[in-house]
Amino acid sequence: MIRLTEDVINFEDVTNSVRDVRAGAVVLFLGTVREITGSDETSHLFYEAYPEMAIRCMHELADEAKQRFPIQAVAIVHRTGTLGPGDVSVAIAVSTPHRAQAFEAGQWLIDSLKERVPIWKQESYKDGRVDWVHPGLDAPAAGKEPS
Amino acid sequence: MIRLTEDVINFEDVTNSVRDVRAGAVVLFLGTVREITGSDETSHLFYEAYPEMAIRCMHELADEAKQRFPIQAVAIVHRTGTLGPGDVSVAIAVSTPHRAQAFEAGQWLIDSLKERVPIWKQESYKDGRVDWVHPGLDAPAAGKEPS
Amino acid sequence: MKIKVLFFAKARSLTGCSAHEFEVADGSCLHDLTTSIYTVFPELLSIGSTLLWAVNGKYSGQDQILSDLSEVACFPPVSGG
Amino acid sequence: MKIKVLFFAKARSLTGCSAHEFEVADGSCLHDLTTSIYTVFPELLSIGSTLLWAVNGKYSGQDQILSDLSEVACFPPVSGG
């Protein structure tokens, strides 16, 4: 399951999609919107994607993860649009024969997604400021960055 | 949520129980019953617990994890009784401000649970053999060990 | 004093019972009780070196002093997860 | 030839448009197109050193040769997750 969605992410479905009788371990990662980062209070986030390229990159990540780790199955679902504090922005699930591999693969997948997949977030603060979050540019730290 | 149950584990509830607007990351670990380990085919597993001590140990693990990692919330649910291939035997969820901490805490919790919490599994193979799985004893490797 | 001992997993399979009461002298430690247990259930000796012991739900060493309120548990290495 | 360029996130905010067509000579590379883009949208220069470029949905270097079928995308560092 590799998907962009504007709807609430059903992480139960994401998780079930990777379960396999050959796997002894499943790891699910959820990125969730933090309300407070340092002294900044987040009102909401807006996630924008370059959809065709984002889907292609997510498939490439899944394929590369399967080469790096002994993975049975991978699922990556990212939400776009407007999200509030506590909402799930991304769900990544992976199943492997043994548990250490599942944690390693899950961490590699979210780290790589945040480096490569063309999705951006714009943060709206409760004091009215609105900033695009672009690592390396000078925008203030955002409620979801880094998670 | 710290619990032993004879029922199917509702891992969606387990996950939701740790979600928090102060957390940017949630990691869920599921231990699932493998059908095949090496040349052994598993028919089913039977999990037995020393319930009072298991619950106490799981609470101790949660408390120790909160000291070791900047955790917002922890949930640990272990199933007992008879489980078939693909079934979830244990669910551990943890929420943290940042993602690396969530993976580290999740791995520490399942590693520690497998070392300390008084729960045992008996494995029934499709060829009729039945073995208690006790690390350090000479029983054959089991479909759930190591995961 | 009488001490209730619980057996789990392979320890239960070997002894054939999930709980048994043992009579030990007042002020006995876990080591004294263990000796009585092996006398009654010598089949446990086959896995004796790996057995773990808990008193009132806490892992305990052989020098742990017992009282008539102690609940002792005897089990092999754990394998949950 | 005409090349369609997509702008995302802060690049879209700065240019004020999500897509724009540019005319470049046949056989141009991405660098040639980039020069045209900065001429039309000099406001992009403020983040120019951080901008990433993709041709037909793949990250591309400035020496990438373009064709009239190329779809080019221009965006700042990604921040999904």
Among A61-70, B15-24, B129-138, the range scoring the smallest mean pLDDT is B129-138
Distance from CA of D26 to the nearest CA of A (A): 25
Q: What is the pLDDT of residues B59-116, one digit of tens each?
A: 999 999 999 999 999 999 999 999 999 999 999 999 999 999 999 999 999 999 999 9
Distance from CA of A79 to the nearest CA of D (A): 9
Contact A8, A76 (CB under 8 A): no
Sketch the domain layout of chain B as residue ranges.
2-6+15-33+47-79+86-118
Distance CA A56, CA B136 (A): 47
Query: Residue B100 and residue A107: Cβ atoms within 8 Å?
Result: yes
Q: What is the pTM of this model?
A: 0.93
First CA to last CA distance, chain D: 37
Cross-strand partners of C55: C58, C72
Task: Please report the pLDDT score of residue A143 as a whole number.
Answer: 47
Task: Please report the pLDDT score of residue B37 as a whole number.
Answer: 77
Contact B29, B109 (CB under 8 A): yes
Q: Is the ipTM of this complex over 0.95?
A: no
CATH number for the region B2-6+15-33+47-79+86-118 comes to 3.90.1170.40
Sketch the domain layout of chain C as residue ranges.
2-75
Omega before residue A70 within 30° of 0, cis: no
Looking at domain C2-75, its CATH architecture is: Roll (3.10)
* B95 inside 8 A of chain A by CB: yes
Contact B71, B114 (CB under 8 A): no
Nearest to A134 among D6, D9, D73 (CB): D9
Task: Please list every residue in chain B whose beta carbon sits closer than 8 Å to the beta carbon of residue C59.
Answer: 116
Q: How far is CA D35 from CA B95, C54, D23, D49, D60, in A?
A: 46, 75, 11, 13, 16
Task: Please report the pLDDT score of residue B142 as a whole number.
Answer: 43
Q: Look-up: residue for tokens 């400021």?
A: A129
Q: What is the pLDDT of residues B73-88, one digit of tens each?
A: 999 999 999 999 999 9
* C13 inside 8 A of chain B by CB: yes
For range C51-73, the mean pLDDT: 96
* B47 inside 8 A of chain A by CB: no
Q: What is the pLDDT of residues A6-29, one digit of tens each?
A: 999 999 999 999 999 999 999 999
Q: Give the residue on C whose Cα is nearest the Cα of B80.
A: C80
Distance CA C60, CA A14 (A): 43
* A59 inside 8 A of chain D by CB: no
Task: Please report the pLDDT score of residue B140 as a whole number.
Answer: 45
Nearest 10 degrees: CA dihedral of B16, B21, B26, B31?
-20
Distance CA C61, CA C43 (A): 22
Nearest to A145 among D13, D52, D79 (CB): D79
Helix (H, G, I), strand (E, B) or coil at A54: helix
